[in-house]
A and B are shown apart, each in its own frame.
Chain A
Amino acid sequence: MLGADAAMQLVQTGATIMVGGFGLVGAPLALLEALGRSGASELTVISNNLGEPGQGLGALLRQGRIARAIGSYFTTNPEVISAHEAGTLEVTLLPQGTMTEAIRAGGAGIPAFFTPTGAGTALAQGKETRRFGERLCVLEQALYADVALIKAHVADRLGNLVYEKTARNFNPVMATAAACVIVEVDRIVDVAELDPEAIVTPHVFVDVLVERAA
Chain B
Amino acid sequence: MSAEIRRRIARRALEELPAAGVVNLGVGIPTVIATLPEACGRIFIHSENGILGVGPRPPEDAVDPTLVDAGKRPITASPGAAYFDSALSFAMIRGGHIDVAVLGALQIDARGRIANWAIPGQPILGVGGAMDLLCGARRVVVTMTHLSSAGEPKIVPELTLPIGSLRPVDVIVSDYGVLDVSGGVLVLRELAPGITLERFTEATAALFKVGVSTNR
Contact = CB atoms under 8 A, between A and B. Distances in A.
Most buried by A among B94, B118, B131: B131
Contact of A117 (B66, B119, B122, B135): B135
Given A116-B94, A166-B68, A167-B66, A81 B125 contact: yes
Contact of B123 (A22, A85, A97): A85
Contacts, number: 142
A93 B131 contact: no
B194 interface: no
Contacts of B47: 166
A56 to B, nearest CB: 12
A73 B127 CA distance: 6
A163 to B, nearest CB: 8
B177 interface: no
Contact of B86 (A80, A117, A122, A169): A169
Most buried by B among A103, A116, A164: A116
Given A97-B132, A120-B165, A166 B118 contact: no
Interface string A37-57: 000000000001000000000
Contacts of B89: 100
Contacts of A103: 87
B174 interface: no
Interface stretch (A6-14, A170-178, A203-211): A170-178
Contacts of B68: 22-23, 25, 166
A103 B126 CA distance: 18
A100 B83 contact: no
Most buried by B among A73, A164, A166, A172: A166
Interface stretch (B8-16, B48-56, B149-157, B205-213): B48-56
A121 B161 CA distance: 11
A48 B68 CA distance: 15
B128 A72 contact: yes
Contact of B124 (A23, A94, A96, A122): A122
Given A26-B66, A166-B67, A166-B83, A75 B125 contact: yes
Most buried by A among B51, B70, B93, B129: B129
Contacts of A119: 135, 165-166
Contacts of B118: 122
Contact of B66 (A72, A118, A166): A166
B124 A93 contact: yes
B166 A169 contact: no
A121 B164 contact: yes
A115 B94 contact: yes
A25 B90 contact: no
Given A73-B126, A97-B93, A172-B87, 20 more contacts: A25-B72, A75-B122, A81-B125, A96-B127, A97-B132, A115-B94, A116-B136, A117-B165, A118-B135, A121-B131, A164-B66, A165-B51, A165-B67, A166-B49, A166-B50, A166-B68, A166-B69, A170-B86, A173-B87, A200-B85
Q: What are the 10 tightest A-B residue pairs by CB atom distance, in nearest-first order?
A: A97-B90, A97-B132, A75-B126, A167-B66, A120-B166, A100-B86, A74-B125, A95-B131, A165-B66, A104-B87
